[in-house]
Amino acid sequence: MSLMEIWNQRRQIRMPKNELDKSTIFSIFPKDIIEKKPTLEPGEFKIAAGLPEKPSSLVISSSSWWREIDIDQPLLEIPVSSVQIAESIVRDYANGVLMCDMGETMPGIFYIPGVVTVDELKIKHKATFDQAVKRQDNWFRVLVKLADSYWARTNGNPLAISDDSRLAAKMLKIEDRPWLMNFAMENVQIKACPACGTLRNSAYPVCQNCKTVIDTDKFNKLGLKFAS
């Protein structure tokens, strides 16, 4: 018998479940969120996409991990409170997204201890809800500014714009950005610059990286010239 088989057959000492230990995770972020905690049981959590007008919620209870005391002894269950789990889910997800500072600029995912309905959220916890909306709007604005910068620096390369930036513009009802165009492959071709190899938008005559004029005819037709 292998060590893994021996491990799987070992008796586990389970602690009494605290049915009152629950927390509610809310999301006003319009994308599904899946967080996995491999060392915990249960350890997979899915929060559906939400909106400020229609937040999604997930009620979670405590999870556990297993501690080995001795090879001849059963495994001991170590419970982890729902508040700790909720905080870990929010922190680990938000920390992994672009331009989040975990303060006033972050996606709209947060938690409240206890079982809380969406109606209760907007009435009894209105300050927490309003703060989450404000923080997400701040984050969206930062993503739009970042996309503007990348668009200018890459000479209009659509590959430089993240999906989150486009989502941010949509949520803020911004429609005047050139990088919001639907770039179909037949309309925009991304090619390597023959001089330096950097991927570039073939619709523009100059490489944004090495400044080599790739399309001389288009460059002259547009009457372009380099700044002195």
Q: Where residue 207 falls among pLDDT bands split at 50, 70, 90?
A: confident
Count CB neighbours of 146 within 10 A.
18
- pLDDT tens, position by position, 67-93: 877 777 778 888 999 999 999 999 999
Model pTM?
Answer: 0.75
Distance CA 97, CA 48 (A): 17
- Give the whole-number percent of the chain exceeding pLDDT 90: 58
Residue 141 φ/ψ, nearest 5 degrees? -65, -40
Task: Assess whether pLDDT exceeds 70 at residue 183.
Answer: no
Distance CA 130, CA 191 (A): 45
Task: Assess whether pLDDT exceeds 60 at residue 98.
Answer: yes
